[in-house]
Amino acid sequence: MSRTPGLGPPELDRALAAYDELIDRVSLDVLSEDAVHELVGDLLGGPPPPAVLGLAANAGGNPRLVIDLVEGLREEGRLDSDDAHRVPARVRRSVNRVLAGLSVQAQQVTRVGAVVGHSLLLEHVARALDTSTASLLVPLAEVMGAGLMRYEDEHVTFHNRIIRMAVLDAIPLPVRRALSHEIAQLVNTPESAATEPALQDLRPAGTVDAVRSLVAAGYVREAIDLARRVLDSPMEPALAAEIRSVQAELLVVSGQAQAGVREAEAALATPGLSHELAEAVGATRLLGLLCLNPALAHTAIDDERGETTTRPIGPLGAMATAVRSDIAWTAGDIAAGLRLGRAAARSSDETVPWPRLALADKLVGIGEFAEAEAILDATEAQLARQHLRAYLVPCATIRAMARFRSGHLDEAEQHARHAVTIGDRFNTLLLVPLAYTVLARLALLSGNLRNAEKYLRQYRRRSASGQGYPHSPQFDFVELLVVAARDGLGCAGKLLGGPMVGLVRRIPLMLQEPAASAWCVRAAQAADDPQLAALAVAAVESLAAANPDFPTVATAARHASSAHEGTLAGIAHAAVEHRDQWARDLARTDLETLVLRLERGRPDGPAGNDRPPVRLTTLTATELRVARLVAAGLTNRQAAVQLNVSSHTVNYHLRGIYRKLDITSRLELVALRPQLME
């Protein structure tokens, strides 16, 4: 199916999200003139009449409109008549269905605009509706999101002439004539004091409020376009700086950090810039630099000294403190990273949410989920009070990561999908790539390699855009997990020991993924690379030694070293003490594997053919229920219904059952049914 992104009710977004695993999305371009001719010929089964081709040429390359046009003319018997230039009823119905999905205000703008002309000035529509131009910005953005109109220089233009003709034909002729006469009088009337209020908001002075109105309604892309167009007009430098500051913030939030930094620096270069505006735009610039390359942000604050000042800290100071927090965190000083992060979060006001989000992200990494979610709750409430729905993507992404690490997989999936959906809908893409890593991890846990690879492609595409997203070592780690699932752990180990060798020493990865070092040890052992395994252990032990007050890092180090040495006690400790659910499960798997090897008397080699007795006592109560249902012949989905959980959760438990019982298929589980039922 084809669909305009963001068009339709939220229920449609939720319905499509439910089938996301089965959907591959591609962007479609309009048809070329030759392609339109070929499509019309295919539909008619022969050379098309010139009148039909002439009408189809006005469809703007929209394949749906071309098909409706030809089929409508066929239904009305007008393919070969001289009357083929009129839009058929089928096309009118198609366009009206799109209109019906819009608000009443958006429908008004479209219909009045159609009477004004194919290409029109927004002030003319405002006059006809007896309103201000600013009040039209949100419904106009809705019309543009539906693909009916677009900006073209100083005008607003219908996407193609067929759309305008269909809208016009749907207006009763007497109404159309009266409206046309009234608009003609308004347009030809000289500007006077009576019309001045309607035109006032078209001037640059009203742009900041107009842009913020669009953002509050979720139209970030349109807000950026409006600011960009207005900046092409002559205006006072101070006003241009204010517009640039808003545009810079929107560009960074939408993932266009490089452009955002350029606008911020242009605003900062304005002579006589107010202190308040300099603080706000300086904070935006720092965030943009942090997204492009953390080293750039670090350099930008090199001249800053100390953590506090004698005056209340402003937005720029809060962001600078947040950057210093990141510097300490990346260097492995957890205490300083958290202390500075909390100071930045306390100092940031509602207009600068990033320091609070950065702190929440760090807290998730060390397993302080309750504190992280409390910060997210407060930040979301503040954004809601400001009607900034479009800024909720980072909140949803970090919450998805928190739920994943705490073992609430269904909720993690829900929040990650929400982040992707609203990010695409509102063009606020700042942390969307990280949301895709969560979805990829969930797909791997449920055994769906195809979906994991699809999500991998999605965040590769986002990150390769060059626009600037905060880089995370989680991207590389998930790449390795996918390679291990597809090609085996040994292949992942070879990749880790080759082009990705630096990953085992990445401190942010060790903090965000407590079991990453232990997993790297396993991969190195599978690739027969003892030096790589030792390197991974040394890195995490060094981090733990530098942070003795943080048990999560100590547990990670003990898990990695015990996996390296084959020590049961250390792995058993990690299986209990890890706060991260995936880390606990990995430790349990390591423990079970080591126990089986010791029981078989082959501590250094792979499992042999002699199978030990089935160890049903190792199954949890939930795993036993899952095993009994699957052994009885139920599918994962059927078992999920019985247990009131998702099929992802069933698959997750099933993988653990296979490991514990040392089996590899459902058939083997069926064979164990008598023992399972005892």
Residue 256 lies in a domain: no
Distance of CA 562 to the CA centre of its chain: 37
Residue 504 lies in a domain: yes
Q: List the end-to-end C-alpha distance of the chain, in Å, as a whole number.
A: 50
Cα–Cα distance for residue pair 349/215, rounded to 1 Å: 19
CATH number for the domain harbouring residue 477:
1.25.40
Longest dimension (CA), the chain: 98
Q: Quote the tokens at residue 163.
A: 């759309």
Q: Does residue 595 sit in the same domain as residue 647?
A: no
**Which ranges in 117-216 belong to alpha helices (H)?**
122-128, 137-145, 161-169, 173-188, 196-200, 207-216
The answer to whether 450 and 412 have CB atoms below 8 angstroms apart is: no
User: Which residues neighbour 390 within 8 Å (Cβ) at sequence distance 6 or greater?
Assistant: 215, 218, 220, 253, 422, 426, 427, 428
The answer to whether 39 and 66 have CB atoms below 8 angstroms apart is: yes
Q: What is the pLDDT of residue 343?
A: 93
Cα–Cα distance for residue pair 518/497, rounded to 1 Å: 15
Q: Does residue 491 sit in the same domain as residue 581?
A: yes
Q: Does residue 582 sit in the same domain as residue 653?
A: no
* 429 three-state secondary structure: coil
Provide DSSP, 550-569: -HHHHHHHHHHHHHHHT-HH
Q: What is the pLDDT of residue 650?
A: 87
Residue 50 lies in a domain: yes
Q: Quote the tokens at residue 376.
A: 């997210």
Cα–Cα distance for residue pair 660/395, rounded to 1 Å: 37
The answer to whether 113 and 123 have CB atoms below 8 angstroms apart is: no
- Residue finishing a domain among 602, 633, 661: 602
User: To the nearest 10°, the Cα dihedral for 157, 158, 161, 167?
Assistant: -130
Cα–Cα distance for residue pair 608/206, rounded to 1 Å: 76
For residue 619, what is the DSSP state? S
Q: Quote the tokens at residue 512.
A: 């965000």
Q: Does residue 585 sit in the same domain as residue 632?
A: no
CATH number for the domain harbouring residue 620:
1.10.10.10
The order of strands in the sheet holding 155-158 is 119-120, 155-158, 149-152
The answer to whether 10 and 425 have CB atoms below 8 angstroms apart is: no
The answer to whether 524 and 538 have CB atoms below 8 angstroms apart is: no
- Residue finishing a domain among 577, 602, 627: 602
* 254 three-state secondary structure: coil
**Which ranges in 45-100 belong to alpha helices (H)?**
50-56, 63-75, 89-100
Q: How many residues does the chain have?
A: 678
- Count CB-CB contacts under 10 A for residue 33: 11
Total tally of structural domains belonging to the chain: 3
Q: Quote the tokens at residue 651.
A: 């698959």
User: Which residues neighbour 473 within 8 Å (Cβ) at sequence distance 6 or greater?
Assistant: 503, 506, 508, 509, 512
Q: What is the pLDDT of residue 519?
A: 96
Q: What is the pLDDT of residue 292?
A: 84
Cα–Cα distance for residue pair 459/207, rounded to 1 Å: 34
Cα–Cα distance for residue pair 596/543, rounded to 1 Å: 31
Degrees, nearest 5: CA angle 460-331-543? 100
Strands (E), 602-659: none
What CA–CA distances, in Å, run from 228 to 223, 368, 599? 9, 42, 70
The answer to whether 422 and 396 have CB atoms below 8 angstroms apart is: yes
Q: Does residue 624 sit in the same domain as residue 531?
A: no
Q: What is the pLDDT of residue 3?
A: 63
Q: Does residue 496 sit in the same domain as residue 584?
A: yes
Q: Give the residue among 102, 97, 88, 100 at the shortest CA–CA distance from 59.
A: 88
The answer to whether 650 and 448 have CB atoms below 8 angstroms apart is: no
Query: Amino acid identity, residue 156?
Result: V
Q: Does residue 656 sit in the same domain as residue 569?
A: no
Cα–Cα distance for residue pair 350/321, rounded to 1 Å: 16
Tens of pLDDT, residues 367-423: 999 999 999 999 988 888 777 766 788 999 999 999 999 999 999 999 999 999 888
Q: Could you tell me how many helices (H) and strands (E) the chain has, helices first? A: 38, 3
Q: Does residue 533 sit in the same domain as residue 631?
A: no
Q: Give the residue among 431, 422, 423, 421 at the shortest CA–CA distance from 471.
A: 431
Residue 530 lies in a domain: yes
Q: Does residue 595 sit in the same domain as residue 622?
A: no
Cα–Cα distance for residue pair 590/386, rounded to 1 Å: 49
Tens of pLDDT, residues 105-133: 888 888 888 888 877 777 778 887 878 77
Query: Amino acid identity, residue 419?
Result: A
The answer to whether 164 and 148 have CB atoms below 8 angstroms apart is: no
Residue 93 lies in a domain: no
Residue 113 lies in a domain: no
563 lies in which domain range?
472-602
The pLDDT mean for the chain works out to 81
- Residue finishing a domain among 69, 86, 103: 86
The answer to whether 387 and 406 have CB atoms below 8 angstroms apart is: no
What CA–CA distances, in Å, run from 525 to 336, 530, 532, 533, 542? 35, 6, 8, 7, 21
- Count CB-CB contacts under 10 A for residue 540: 28
Residue 209 lies in a domain: no
Cα–Cα distance for residue pair 358/675, rounded to 1 Å: 50
The answer to whether 360 and 376 have CB atoms below 8 angstroms apart is: yes
Q: Does residue 568 sit in the same domain as residue 625?
A: no
User: Which residues neighbour 676 within 8 Å (Cβ) at sequence distance 6 or greater?
Assistant: 616, 624, 627, 628, 631
**Which ranges in 446-526 belong to alpha helices (H)?**
449-463, 473-487, 489-497, 507-512, 516-526
Residue the block writes with tokens 């479209």: 110
Cα–Cα distance for residue pair 69/86, rounded to 1 Å: 10
Below-70 pLDDT ranges, the chain: 1-29, 81-85, 153-154, 184-207, 216-218, 302-313, 389-390, 462-470, 598-615, 667, 678
426: left (phi over 0), alpha (psi -120 to 50) or beta: alpha
Q: What is the pLDDT of residue 472?
A: 82
For residue 293, what is the DSSP state? -
Q: Quote the tokens at residue 446.
A: 């449920």
Q: Does residue 476 sit in the same domain as residue 568?
A: yes
Residue 454 lies in a domain: no
Q: Does residue 584 sit in the same domain as residue 655?
A: no
